[in-house]
Amino acid sequence: MDIKSQNDSLKHELKTAINRVLEHQGYCLGPETESFENKFANWLGIKYAVGCNSGTSALHIAAKLLNLSPGDEVITTPLTFVSTSWALSYVGAKPVFADTEENSMNICPESVRSKISKKTKAILPVHLYGQMCNIDALQKISLDYNLYLVEDAAQAHGATRNGKKAGTVGDISTFSFYPGKNLGALGEGGALLTNSFDYYSRAQSLRNHGSSQKYYHDEIGFNYRMEGIQAAALSVKLRKIDQWIQKRREIANIYLSELSDLPLHLPKPELNSQPVYHLFVIRHTERDKIAAHLAEKNIQTSLHYPIPLHLQKCFSELNYNKGAFPNAEKAAAECLSIPLFPEMSENQQRYVCESIRGYFN
Ligand SMILES: Cc1ncc(COP(=O)(O)O)c(C=O)c1O
């Protein structure tokens, strides 16, 4: 991701938006946040959005809304950014991991089904790398067992599967607007989305010190408010997102055709799935050598994610061992994210393809 080139291309609009905040002084929540919330909810086709100061805080609020507490279990994926599970730990609930699908690297519905216990309260999938997980199958499981379904859509703004947009299926969904995300702020940002008015109004209070009326605090809350300047910048960028998604898909298609004859495992969209390619992750057993080869050619790569959550030190109390989730562990050992961003030039795309090819020649 080249955040500078994106922000440079919008410099004028971003400065105008920031100046507007300097005029009306709505720095914390305020008119910009409200306006962005409405636009983002509209864009997704969801009733309510609650702007937060990160995707992690939105997840924490989601866990509070479901009244998760010690003793409760939530089934989730081990192949994600750590904060998906932290939201559960923050409220004392236990993350119970399920394995991922071999191809999509998203949580596997059959594995989820096998982890359900009397203590299970919710399923928390992630739409990894910008491709939706099998949300229909997960929704069915949640209905069969009377479980809540929360979507971590931090990486999947605009992704669809079977005609449904990421973040529109679960009881609650959360997004991140971290600068490197497909819709990124000029700092931290996140949002919680829901069609439930009750969740919406409680989430508004929870993110604002547990207060729906100034100086009255109904429950213990947090300072998780979205800043006006971030909301103003996000409104500017939201106008571009469909165009950016289109560009990401075009670049992904070039990678998919140019690299198709190489001995690499390439992302393969699931049936009826339109990923937004937040990340383009190739897989190979010699991933570290390929990364070193590309680094020599000045091509930056990254790993998403080299250590699955069940093997992280912070979750050692959960007592998982190596080998517990073979698909997730294999993906973690082989994954390599190569450059993909809407402003990428044809020359840059060609250079990346040639350089990867060079490793195998
Ligand atoms: C899948 C996933 N969940 C949650 C988060 C947390 O979002 P934030 O960094 O905005 O707190 C991220 C961001 O990195 C993410 O990729």
Strands 120-124 and 73-76: parallel
Compute, in angstroms, the gap from residue 103 CA to the centroid of ligand 1: 22
Which burial class, exposed, middle or buried, applies to 128 when counting CB atoms under 10 A from its CB (0-12, 13-18, 19+)? buried
Residues enclosing ligand 1, CB less than 6 A? 54-56, 80-81, 83-84, 126, 152, 154-155, 176, 178, 190
Closest-lying ligand 1 atom to the alpha carbon of residue 177? 10
pLDDT at 2 over 90: no
Instruction: Give 1's pLDDT tier (boundaries 50, 70, 90).
Output: confident
Q: Which pair of structure tokens corresponds to residue 358? A: 């060079």
Compute, in angstroms, the gap from residue 179 CA to the centroid of ligand 1: 11
| Ligand 1 mutation pick, 79, 127, 132, 178, max ligand atoms within 8 A of CB | 178
Closest-lying ligand 1 atom to the alpha carbon of residue 127? 1
Compute, in angstroms, the gap from residue 232 CA to the centroid of ligand 1: 21
Q: Give per-residue pLDDT as tens, 183-235.
A: 999 999 999 999 999 999 999 999 999 998 999 999 999 999 999 999 999 99
Name, in order, each residue with C-beta under 8 angstroms of 278's C-beta and a sequence gap of 6 or more: 129, 130, 155, 156, 181, 182, 248
Distance from C-alpha of 279 to C-alpha of 276, rounded to nearest angstrom: 8
| Ligand 1 mutation pick, 61, 76, 81, 100, max ligand atoms within 8 A of CB | 81
Q: Give per-residue pLDDT as tens, 274-284.
A: 999 999 999 99
User: Does the reported pTM lie above 0.85?
Assistant: yes
Compute, in angstroms, the gap from residue 146 CA to the centroid of ligand 1: 27
Q: Give per-residue pLDDT as tens, 90-140.
A: 999 999 999 999 999 999 999 999 999 999 999 999 999 999 999 999 999
Q: Give per-residue pLDDT as tens, 322-350.
A: 999 999 999 999 999 999 999 999 999 99
Closest-lying ligand 1 atom to the alpha carbon of residue 126? 1
Q: What domains are there in the chain, each with its CATH number?
A: 3-238 (3.40.640.10), 241-360 (3.90.1150.10)
Q: In this structure, what is the dihedral angle of CA atoms 282, 286, 290, 293, given to the nearest 10 degrees? A: 180
The angle at the Cα of 135, spanning 109 to 319, to the nearest 5 degrees, equals 45
Closest-lying ligand 1 atom to the alpha carbon of residue 57? 11
Contact in structure between 90 and 49 (CB atoms under 8 Å): no
Contact in structure between 49 and 38 (CB atoms under 8 Å): yes
Closest-lying ligand 1 atom to the alpha carbon of residue 80? 1
